Amino acid sequence: MTIGGSSYDHEWWLPASGALFPPVDGEHAGPDGDGSGGAAPVLGHVSGRESDLSRFPRLGWAIVTCMDTRVDIGRLFGGIGPADAHVIRNAGGVVTDDTIRSLAISQRLGNTSSVFLVHHTDCALLTITDPSFARTLSQQTGQEPPWSAGAFADLDDDVRASMARVVTSPFLPRRHAVRGFVFDVATGNLREVRRRELTAH
């Protein structure tokens, strides 16, 4: 694989010729820990036309989804690209207080009107519980996390719960166009989850 002129072996995070980034004081980098590799390569380049794009999403969409690398929003939603939609990612794609913060900014400052929520199969949050994850962190760090992992046991139920949080949030002025989906990573299918009847106040 070649990124920005550097070739990468099967351990893709290490360039075949040395360190991806130069070491900082006291750090070792490179396959041999010798700090080889020189200056950091340029990892990517865009057209330079992004400044010509509007900060208001063209489709008026805000999409909340998981940070999982297999979830390709552009392909799932018909090839959408830059300036088409706001994409808000977190672990699990759950609607947290911070997700509501992002959606409020998206709607009030970005003029979006539709909210799409996308969960996916084989999600890491299906493999844990909030208490067990918090207990592990506490044992390893000596501190209780001030936040919940947001684990869930049923994808459809959590999509519906996330839709309910959006529909009932007083901070979102546009809460009627909310849809939820589950992406099957094995088949590539995107399935819509129907929400229960909720009233936006």
Three-class SS of residue 160? helix
Euclidean distance between the first and the last CA atom of the chain, given in angstroms as a whole number: 52
Cβ–Cβ under 8 Å, residues 121 and 191: no
Q: What is the pLDDT of residue 31?
A: 44
Q: Give the C-alpha separation, 156 to 199, whole Å.
A: 19
Nearest Cα residue to 94 out of 102, 84, 83? 102
**Residue ranges of domains in the chain:** 1-45, 54-193
Three-class SS of residue 130? helix
Q: What is the pLDDT of residue 12?
A: 39
Q: What is the mean pLDDT of each run of 10 residues along the chain (201 residues)?
A: 43 44 50 49 61 89 98 94 96 97 98 97 97 96 96 97 97 96 97 74 51
Q: What is the pLDDT of residue 26?
A: 52
Neighbours of 82 (CB within 10 A): 13
- The CATH number assigned to the domain with range 54-193 reads 3.40.1050.10
Cβ–Cβ under 8 Å, residues 81 and 134: no
Q: What is the pLDDT of residue 112?
A: 97
Q: What is the pLDDT of residue 52?
A: 79
